[in-house]
Chains A and B, each alone.
Chain A
Amino acid sequence: GENVEQHPSTLSVQEGDSAVIKCTYSDSASNYFPWYKQELGKRPQLIIDIRSNVGEKKDQRIAVTLNKTAKHFSLHITETQPEDSAVYFCAASKLGGSQGNLIFGKGTKLSVKP
Chain B
Amino acid sequence: EPEVTQTPSHQVTQMGQEVILRCVPISNHLYFYWYRQILGQKVEFLVSFYNNEISEKSEIFDDQFSVERPDGSNFTLKIRSTKLEDSAMYFCASLKGSYNEQFFGPGTRLTVL
Interaction A to B: yes
Find chain A residues with CB under 8 A from B44 CB.
104
26 contacts between A and B (CB under 8 A): A34-B101, A36-B104, A43-B104, A43-B105, A44-B43, A46-B101, A46-B102, A49-B101, A89-B43, A95-B99, A96-B98, A97-B98, A98-B48, A98-B50, A98-B55, A99-B50, A99-B56, A100-B98, A101-B45, A101-B56, A102-B33, A102-B43, A103-B45, A104-B44, A105-B42, A106-B42
A61 close to chain B: CB less than 8 A: no
Number of CB contacts from chain A to chain B under 8 A: 63
B98 lies within 8 A of A102 (CB): no
- At the interface, is chain A mostly helix, strand, loop or mixed? loop
* Tally of chain B residues near chain A (CB < 8 A): 26
Find chain B residues with CB under 8 A from A45 CB.
104
Q: Mark A79-114, 1 if CB is under 8 A from B, else 0.
A: 000000000010100011111111111110000000
User: Which residue of chain A has the shortest Cβ distance to B101 in the bound complex?
Assistant: A46
Q: How large is the interface on A (under 10, 10 to 19, 20 to 34, 35 or more residues)?
A: 20 to 34
Binding site for A on B (CB under 8 A): 31, 33, 35, 41-45, 48, 50-51, 55-56, 58, 91, 93, 95, 98-99, 101-107
